[in-house]
Amino acid sequence: MVYAKDIMDTDYAACQEKDSLAKAMAKMDSESESDVLVFCDKEFSGIFQPGFVTRINMQINETEVSHFTKRVKMMGMEATEEEMMGEFIESGANILPVEEDGKIAGIVRALDLLALKKEMKGLKVKLAANVSKTMREDEGIGKAIQELFDQKTKALILTDEEGEPARTLSHYDVLRNIHFFSRARDHGGKNSGAFRKEKDDYNAIPAFEFTRYRDQPTIKEEDDATTALAMMKDAGTLTLLVQGTGKALSIRDLLRQAGTEIEDDAPQVNIVGLGDLDIDQMTKDAIKQATMKTALKIAQITGHKISLRVHVKSYKDAQKDKHHKFSVSAHLNFPGEALVVDKAADWDAKTAVQIAMEDIENRVANQYRAPKRGTARHR
C-alpha cells in the first residue's frame, strides 16, 4: 500500500495570488514543474497550470495568477493511492499538495504515483494513447492557440512537410514561449520583430518555434506504460508522440486508464451520519481516510471486492451531560461473509472509528491469516 508520505517531494514551485502569469511561468520553468502551488500569503489557495489560460491576447505580464487558480483537495500524509488517484482524475491537476498540521509539507506527482502501479507494466501504449488534433508545423502559433482553446485538448500534433507527425505542442509550450517572446520584444531582443509593442502578431511565428523539443521524445505502440512513464520523467515532459501514428500519449491518458482499474476494483465505502457531527473538517477527512484505508486492507487480505458501511453518531453521556460521546457501528460484506461491529465508542470521534476499524480488520485477519496488530482499548 502506498501513501502520500511515501512519494511526497518537499521541493515544488510556488507563487502568490498577486503574482503575474509571467512570474508564475518563470517559477514553473526554473523548477521544471508542470503546475504551480498558489498561496495567499501563507494560506494555500489552489494550483495554476498553463492549460487554464491558453487563448489569444493573453496579457501575461499584467494578469494576476488569482484569476486562473483552481482549487484542489489537499492530501493528508496518510492519503491512499486510490484517494490521490481520484483527486488527480477529478481535478485535472498533475500535482497535489500534501498537508501536515495545517501546513503544506510537500507535493505528490501523478507521474510518481503511476510509476508505482503494477497495472502500468501490462498496459500497452496502443490502448492508452489518443488520436490528437493535428496541424502543420509551419502554420502560425495563433491558429495553434485557437485549436488548443477550442478543442480543450492537452496537446496538438504538428506535422512536417510530408504530413508526418513531427512533434507535439502543449499548453505549457505556448505560455512558456509567449513569456519568452514577450520579454525579447520588451527588451529589444532578436525575437522582438513579430511581437511588436503595438500589437502582438501571433501568426507571424510558425508553431514549431514554440515547441520545446526539436527531437521530440517518441514511443512505440507496443511499449508498455512503465516505459512511457520513465521516458516522461527523463525528458521532463507529460506528453509523448507515438511513432508512426497520429496519436499522442499524455499523463492524463494514463491516469484515465488507471482510474478505470480503480473504479472496477475499489471497495464500496459508505459513511453514514458524518455530516451531522459537530466536529471540524480535518477530523471528518481523517475519519474518511481511516475508513478507506481499512477497506483497502480488507480487500487486499480477502482478495474480494468489498462493501463497508460505517454509521457514526454522537450522544450525551448520562453521567457527563455536557459531553458528547461517539459511537460507531460497521457492516462489512464480501462474497460468502457478512461481519458486524456493534458498537465501538469513545469521547473522540476519530478514535471511535479507529477502534471499530481495527476490530473488523482483525476479525477478517483472524479468518485469513494471523492479525497484524492488537485491537485498540476501549476507553
Q: What is the CATH number of the domain that holds 322?
A: 3.30.160.100
Sign of CA dihedral 159, 160, 166, 170: negative
Residue 375: its pLDDT value, please? 40
- CA 375 remoteness from chain centre: 34
Residue 376 φ then ψ, to 5°: -65, 150
**Which residues, in sequence order, are bridge partners of residue 80?**
3
Residue 320: its pLDDT value, please? 55
Residue 277 and residue 244 share a domain: no
Residue 132 and residue 251 share a domain: yes
Residue 253 and residue 164 share a domain: yes
Whether the pTM exceeds 0.85: the reply is no
Given the C-alpha cell 503546475, which residue does it identify? Answer: 35
Residue 249 and residue 155 share a domain: yes
Residue 216 and residue 280 share a domain: no
Is residue 121 assigned to a domain?
A: no
Residue 7: its pLDDT value, please? 95
Is residue 77 assigned to a domain?
A: yes
Is residue 107 assigned to a domain?
A: yes
pLDDT in tens, the chain (379 residues): 789 999 999 999 999 999 988 888 888 877 878 899 999 999 999 999 877 676 655 677 778 888 888 888 899 999 988 889 888 888 888 999 999 998 999 999 999 999 988 888 888 998 888 877 889 999 988 888 888 876 566 788 898 888 888 888 888 888 777 766 665 555 554 444 444 443 456 677 888 888 876 667 899 999 999 999 999 988 888 889 898 888 889 888 888 887 665 555 567 888 988 888 888 888 888 898 889 888 888 887 877 778 888 999 887 765 655 567 889 988 888 766 667 776 788 888 999 999 999 998 888 888 776 444 444 333 3
Among the candidates 49, 82, 116, a domain finishes at 116
Measured CA to CA, the distance from residue 324 to residue 338 in angstroms comes to 30
Is residue 179 assigned to a domain?
A: yes
Among the candidates 227, 261, 295, a domain finishes at 261
All cell numbers assigned to 372: 497484524
Residue 310 and residue 228 share a domain: no
CATH assignment at residue 138 = 3.10.580.10
Residue 186 and residue 88 share a domain: no
Residue 187 and residue 103 share a domain: no
Spatial CA neighbour of 339 closest among 304, 307, 303: 307
All cell numbers assigned to 194: 513579430
Measured CA to CA, the distance from residue 85 to residue 323 in angstroms comes to 38
All cell numbers assigned to 255: 491516469
Spatial CA neighbour of 216 closest among 153, 258, 157: 157
The domain total for the chain is 3
User: DSSP per residue over 222-262, as a string?
Assistant: TSBHHHHHHHHHHHT-SEEEETTSSEEEEHHHHHHHHHHHH
Query: Do the Cβ atoms of 60 and 181 come closer than 8 Å?
Result: no
Q: Which domain holds residue 24?
A: 4-116
Measured CA to CA, the distance from residue 148 to residue 58 in angstroms comes to 14
Query: Do the Cβ atoms of 104 and 98 come closer than 8 Å?
Result: yes
- Say how many C-beta atoms besides its own lie within 10 A of residue 246's C-beta: 17
Among the candidates 65, 86, 116, a domain finishes at 116
Residue 255 and residue 274 share a domain: no
Is residue 377 assigned to a domain?
A: no
Residue 281: its pLDDT value, please? 81
Residue 220: its pLDDT value, please? 93
Beta-strand ranges (E) seen in the chain are: 14-16, 36-40, 43-48, 75-76, 95-100, 103-109, 130-131, 134-136, 155-159, 165-170, 218-219, 239-242, 247-250, 268-272, 307-316, 324-334, 337-346
Is residue 199 assigned to a domain?
A: yes
Is residue 373 assigned to a domain?
A: no
Residue 213 and residue 100 share a domain: no
Strand order in the sheet with 247-250: 130-131, 247-250, 239-242, 218-219
Residue 362 and residue 303 share a domain: yes
Is residue 168 assigned to a domain?
A: yes
Measured CA to CA, the distance from residue 314 to residue 280 in angstroms comes to 14
Residue 131 and residue 64 share a domain: no
SS3 assignment, position 359: helix
All cell numbers assigned to 215: 527531437
